Structure 1
Amino acid sequence: MGQLENLMQAAREGNLEDLRLQVEQIISMFQQGTEEPENLYDLAGMMMDYGYVQLADTLYEELLQLMPEEGQLKIDRAETLLEMGEEDEALLLLTSITPDEDEYVQALLSLADYYQMSGMSEAAVMKVKEALALMPEEPVLRFAYAELLLDGGKYVEAASLYSELNDEGVNDIGGIRIVSRLAETYSAGAAYEEAIPYYEQLLKDLSAPDDLFGAAFAYFQADQPKRSTQLMEQLLELDPDYFSAYMLAGQSFARLGDDEKAYELFVRGITRDEYDKELRLAAGKSALKLGKTDEAEEHLSEALALDPEYIDALIALASLYNEQEKDEELLSLLAETDEAQMDLPMLTAFKAYALERVEQFDDAYVSYSEAYVGMKDDPIFLDRYAHFLLEEGKRSEAIEIVKQLVAIEHHDEWDAFLELSNDEEV
């Protein structure tokens, strides 16, 4: 085609008007018989490569008028129609391809792709199974079936198919490495020990960030945190903005007992992603383990600032305030988050403790009573509740709470109390 270079230049420059005019001119030449169908077909593929889907569709439509029964053209045009959202017309083209045509299996795969993307997984599986029945040894079809199984959470079956392909020497399909899929599938199915060798095989060739993270996660889940920390440090050196690596790295060091290093990594992660509430919670808990209560309070408060209904951070901060007897801060926190914590008896118990300490005894009694509904099996709560009731002169109520407490665990003080109470009744 004499105009090919001009077309490519217009495509690269994004000159849509010039490109459209040139395509219309080539179609006119084709209609006059001075341009070959093969050239139109190649041009349509080039338009797709450059993202000019509408122009590609126009070219495929023109070719189909000349060759209406050409299966490959139907498939190609169906692809452009799907890109443009013209699903009904695309499906008509694909389903018009009959089993006796060479392109039938390809059409089945195109239909499977469409159904999968549309959330109709069962229909997608049916199409791939039909294709497999026609060509049971075809690696591409077996791979496509394994992909559907993986997406559907059927990890054992998917791993079996990937393993067969791997054993047959199939290294990759469509740019996807089989060992990568094996690593991913075993890991997704929580078979981390089985996933590790495949991750290591991937890392021998190229230490890609996703592979490093996947391998580190598998090692962490397999309770091998030392190797996990090595991989995470390698990943963060390679890509300091791989945000999720900071959490996993910190968790791995914490499991090794290196709380200082864990805290350092959580804080480093926060500097990279200041909107990650989970990193702030992790940093807060890590700071508490190190006795850095001021830093812990700051991290947990910031986590709640990002998400006022972040229950884990709310519990951690309320627990810290309760331990430090910062009753004003505790009551203020619980008042601000009353709706979020209404179904959490532990927080209601913290409220009761704080109200008791600030001598708001009537309100404390209400909160103790509310917390009791969900805390009746907690011996620490029952112990405090019983003492409170006795201080308030509610002896008969205290006796019932103490009976529950001693039924859970032996307690010399309360055993003696109950014995004395029985003697008094006699």
Structure 2
Amino acid sequence: MAVFDKIQQAVEQGDPRRVNKLIDQALLESDPDSQYTLAEWLADIGYVEEAVKVLEHLQFLFPEESQLAIDRAGLLIEIDREDDALEVLTSIPEGDEQYPQALVVLADLFQTQGLLEAAERRLDEAIRLLPDEPLLLQAKAEVLLESGRYLESARLYTDLLAAEIEIPGVNLSERLAEVYSAGAAYEEALPYYEQALKEQSSPDTLFGAAYSAFQSAQYETAIRYAEELTAMDPDYFSAYLLRAESLNMMGDYSASYEAATEGISRDEYNKELYLFAGKLALKLGRETEGEAHLRQAIALDPEYMDAIQTLIALLHAQERSEDVLELAEAAVSNETDWAALYPAIAAAYEATEQYGKAADYYGRAYPAFREDAEFLSNYARFLLEEGRQEQARQVIDELLVLEPGHPDWADWHQSAE
């Protein structure tokens, strides 16, 4: 049996010690081309350390072959030996034929480390050497995108697209659309998403088009793309919420609710869908269903502030003070700052005649709600009823600043004197 067949058999048997022993044998017995093929195969199946070992041997035999160094550096990066990769790459001299490729790999290394300026410098140097190489321009566009320089990235992609450049595995229209979307230029992104869809339709491209249409207030277009997406992939759950949101913006609340509940039937662990369905049910006057959806959202995430606030507001409006306290006490028990809930908690304690706790929560809410006339009004009334005239005067003074013409505040101020 040939040594390469033995290596494959050892890999299939999960025997790494025998694999390494057979690799050593292959390095002694086989020709360099076969060894290079072995390195590629080992890397492809995840035996990266072993592939590096083979390339190190080949580089010892052929120190002038810079491509071997570049290949080895790429594998070293994969196994987090970045310092070793850097040493290998910087050893390639500027006049070497493979120097531009080494610069690209260096740029990739710096980019993964978050050193975007260093990555851009290496790419600029490579572009100076090979100004017409589209892969370098595309690589720079990606670095600019990651740096948040969206317009510069878009310009490079626009130039590549205008030149009718083809880059294997890259849809330039889609990348340009994604660059515009990343910079929140959704109206500019939408035509490029549509162009990309003409070239090849995919779930992610459809969602990008739908989302860009939604952000551009083109709700019918957003709905159309979202429906195409769920027809292509019924488990692309974000599309259901996006369709529901679009229908809601068009004022079709019943259809919006149906879209949200359809999404829930596909993804029963999506708290955002439960929250949205809950809010729509309340908008439609279906309070029982709304409460059920909101409670399910909270069951999925006990610290889901938006759902908790919405449900507490419902319970407060229904004067279900005990239920408010049960929900609120569970929420605030983890000592997180839940200031947004404090006014409702204070009102619930007041309604259940637990005045000490009501005073505590009114006081907790006060710093965050000093610009809220409704809260200040409730707080001032409570303080007056509790005989806390000095505190009441302070709150009423703030009410007079917010609503100086209100007839009640002056009377309350006199009551507090």
Q: Same fold (TM over 0.5)?
A: yes
**TM-superposition CA deviations, 1:25-50 (whole Å, max 9, x none):** 543334xxxx3x33333343333334
Contact persistence 2:261–2:277 (CA under 8 A):
yes
TM-score with structure 2 setting the length: 0.89
Please give the alpha-carbon distance, in whole angstroms, between the structure 1 residues aligned to 2:118 and 2:355: 64
User: Equivalences for 1:386-401 in 2 at 5 Å?
Assistant: 386-392=380-386, 398=392, 401=395
Identify the match of residue 126 of structure 1 among 115, 121, 126.
Answer: 121
TM-score with structure 1 setting the length: 0.87
Identify the match of residue 246 of structure 2 among 252, 261, 264.
Answer: 252
The alpha-carbon deviation at position 342 of structure 1 amounts to 6.3
User: Equivalences for 1:24-423 in 2 at 5 Å?
Assistant: 24-30=24-30, 35=31, 37-171=32-166, 173-339=167-333, 343-392=337-386, 398=392, 401-409=395-403, 413-414=407-408, 417=411, 421=414
**TM-superposition CA deviations, 1:168-198 (whole Å, max 9, x none):** 1113x24111111100000110111111110
List runs of 5+ in structure 2 lacking aligned partners: none
Please give the alpha-carbon distance, in whole angstroms, between the structure 2 residues aligned to 1:361 and 1:87: 63
**TM-superposition CA deviations, 1:302-325 (whole Å, max 9, x none):** 222222222212211111111111
Contact persistence 2:187–2:212 (CA under 8 A):
yes
Percent identical pairs in the alignment equals 44
Secondary structure of the structure 2 residue equivalent to 1:257: coil
**TM-superposition CA deviations, 1:125-172 (whole Å, max 9, x none):** 22112212222232111111111011111101100111111111113x
Please give the alpha-carbon distance, in whole angstroms, between the structure 1 residues aligned to 2:402 and 2:358: 24
The alpha-carbon deviation at position 389 of structure 1 amounts to 4.1
Secondary structure of the structure 1 residue equivalent to 2:93: coil
Task: Decide which moves more: 267-276 or 90-99.
Answer: 267-276
**TM-superposition CA deviations, 1:196-238 (whole Å, max 9, x none):** 1100001112220000000000000001111101111111111
Please give the alpha-carbon distance, in whole angstroms, between the structure 2 residues aligned to 1:162 and 1:192: 16
**TM-superposition CA deviations, 1:75-134 (whole Å, max 9, x none):** 112223333333333322211110110000101111111121222222222211221222
**Compared CA separation, residues 140 and 16, structure 1 to 2 (3 A):** farther
List runs of 5+ in structure 1 lacking aligned partners: none
The alpha-carbon deviation at position 371 of structure 1 amounts to 2.5
Secondary structure of the structure 1 residue equivalent to 2:210: helix
Please give the alpha-carbon distance, in whole angstroms, between the structure 1 residues aligned to 2:123 and 2:153: 14
**Compared CA separation, residues 74 and 267, structure 1 to 2 (3 A):** same
Please give the alpha-carbon distance, in whole angstroms, between the structure 1 residues aligned to 2:27 and 2:113: 34
Task: Decide which moves more: 74-83 or 6-15.
Answer: 6-15
Please give the alpha-carbon distance, in whole angstroms, between the structure 1 residues aligned to 2:397 and 2:76: 74
Secondary structure of the structure 1 residue equivalent to 2:332: coil
Please give the alpha-carbon distance, in whole angstroms, between the structure 1 residues aligned to 2:389 and 2:374: 19
The alpha-carbon deviation at position 61 of structure 1 amounts to 2.4
